Amino acid sequence: MRLIRLWPENSHFDFMRLRRYSFPLSALISVATAIVLMTVGLNFGIDFKGGTLMEIQAKSGQANVAQIRQTAESFGFGDVEVQEFGGTGEVSLRFPIQSGGEAAQTAVVQKARDTFGNDYDFRRVETVGPRVSGELVQSGTIGIVLSVIAVLFYLWFRFERELAVASIIGTLHDIVLTIGFFVITRHEFNMTSIAAILTIVGYSLNETVVVFDRTRELMRRYKAMPAEELLNLSINTTMSRTIMTATTTALSLLALVLFGGQAIQGFAQVMLYGVVICTYSAICISSPMLIYIGLRGSETVKVPEGRAAAAE
């Protein structure tokens, strides 16, 4: 039986050269993310924005979206977003947060149930008042900040300072690019998205740690090897594992995207993107960072001018 190999053995690919493309690319995406974030912002779901979300399904299997939209608009609860999804007469309605505090939200649900209750099943109703949504924003933000700090401490204990700094830069990069995914695709941003980001933080470090564990080992073995060569060697020797794990994780997530149902699809899509980003950043961002930070404390590797050009 012939077994699959996703990555050739004893490869000597010059990964460090990729930084000439990856650094500008990541910088560009980060800047674009920042700009869109400042101007358009994230597409917040009701968890963070407050408001009411309903998913209803036509008992007949055929939803009349135009009519629902017209009726919902006539309630006078502000701009209603009405969308059909799923294909079996499922429609989602989103009402903005009502002025008049927590109690005003309840009226929306009541009105919609009374109006559509005969022809539609209410499969999901979520109402979040202004106070709770504010708290959720707070705890979400705290969560991401805390996770970065906690991870920083962990790395500080486990690794040399240079490796820790490079890993954290990689992790921050992954958070930024994940937020970029949300602002650019207009994917809804809610509490589940925070869960996805924290999971990506975990995965991102996992990838970097595997490469850097090897870097550390090689540093002890080859005391005189220049940083660039050492990093290339670390990535090449761990590459088959990196590819394998990215593939198995991606396969599971793919199963979730395809079969996990509507409610979980968003999470799985973000994670799938995250796996790609984390793998890319471990190889093309965190590792090359070490060339600039310097691997062995005092010694910063000088990249002579023109040497990169000569390599081509």
Contacts to other proteins from residues 90-119, by CB under 8 A: 101-103, 105-106, 109-110, 113
Toward other proteins, which CB reaches closer, 33 or 215? 215
**In the set 258, 309, 310, 311, which binds other proteins (CB under 8 A)?**
258
Choose between 222 and 292: whose C-beta lies nearer to other proteins: 222
- Tell whether residue 234 is a contact of other proteins (CB under 8 A): no
Interface mask toward other proteins for 186-225; x: CB under 8 A: -----xx-xx--xx-xxx-xx--xx--x---x--------
CA distance 64 to 209: 53
The 3-state secondary structure of the chain reads CCCCCCCCCCCCCCHHHHHHHHHHHHHHHHHHHHHHHHHCCCEECHHHHCEEEEEEEECCCCCCHHHHHHHHHHCCCCCCEEEEECCCCEEEEEECCCCCHHHHHHHHHHHHHHHHCCCEEEEEEEEECHHHHHHHHHHHHHHHHHHHHHHHHHHHHHCCHHHHHHHHHHHHHHHHHHHHHHHHHCCEECHHHHHHHHHHHHHHHHHHHHHHHHHHHHHHHCCCCCHHHHHHHHHHHHHHHHHHHHHHHHHHHHHHHHHCCHHHHHHHHHHHHHHHHHHHHHHHHHHHHHHHHCCECCECCCCCCCHHHHHC
Specify the stretch interacting with other proteins by CB under 8 A; choose among 25-33, 37-45, 127-135, 276-284: 127-135
Does residue 59 touch other proteins according to CB under 8 A? Answer: no
Query: Shortest approach of other proteins to residue 94 CB, angstroms?
Result: 15
* 26: contact with other proteins by CB under 8 A: no
Decide whether 51 or 180 has the Cβ nearer to other proteins: 51
Choose the stretch contacting other proteins; rule: CB under 8 A; options: 33-41, 72-80, 149-157, 303-311.
Answer: 149-157
245 binds other proteins (CB under 8 A): yes
Tell me which of 165, 179, 268, 301 binds other proteins, using CB under 8 A: 268
Closest distance of CB 310 from other proteins, Å: 31
The CB-of-30 to other proteins minimum distance in angstroms stands at: 22
Residues 269-308 that bind other proteins (CB under 8 A): 271
One of 26, 33, 147, 279 touching other proteins (CB under 8 A) = 147
